[in-house]
Amino acid sequence: MANLINSSYFEKGALYIPNNKDLNAALPGNPSNQTDLDFYIEEYERELLINAFGIVLYDEYVVALQNLNQADQKWTDLIDGKTYVNTSSVTKRWEGLRGANKQSLVACYVYTQYLRNYNETFATTGVVRNDSKNATNYDATPKYIKAYNKFLEQYQSDLSSNPRIYVNKFGSEGIDWYGSEKATVSLHQFLTDSNELDATSFPDFTFKFYAEQNSFGI
């Protein structure tokens, strides 16, 4: 099955993973960063999207991705992004699963799993294992937390642990959990809005929410 993203999402910027194009490749028989990364893309892209869609919708997504030009427009909108007007007559922007300028929520999630599961640290020579002899290591936690928080923002930020308190015209207080003042929306909000506009859009989606983490990883 073709993946939505590839290693080019990790060649520069906040999600940069050095040597992911087999530069300074490992000795024969040992995996390079490229080999590792390809595995993590395949493994965790699938995990994330199943958690976001549920099995039924994920299977439909896989079929659509294989021939996107022939798929329903909703799949192109989901993958590549869309500007739309919601049921409150407010114009919103969904940047798509691929993300604007490759700043994809999928790439952010893969990146965090790459760091967490490989117990690697960033060093002046790139991403290195803890037993590297020629690298100056420093804690990768800040990079992990930054990427994880970016992922949460794009994935589910409409349900925030820090909601906005507002007062309506009758003087009653309320809580806005959905961050309605934002022009761009999360994946959860896009799926919800799409169903409110057309109940046949993504009727079978079952969404898993992820816990927030602080600088201590908790």
Question: 140 and 171 in contact (C-beta within 8 Å)?
Answer: no
- In whole angstroms, what is the distance from residue 114 CA to residue 33 CA? 10
Q: Write out pLDDT tens, residues 65-123.
A: 999 999 999 999 999 999 999 999 999 999 999 999 999 999 999 999 998 876 554 44
pLDDT above 90 for 62? yes
pLDDT above 80 for 148? yes
Question: 136 and 124 in contact (C-beta within 8 Å)?
Answer: yes
Q: Phi and psi (nearest 5°) for 34?
A: -65, -45
- What average pLDDT does the segment 147-163 reach? 80
Query: Which residues are paired to 94 by β-bridges?
Result: 82
pTM reported for the whole predicted model? 0.78
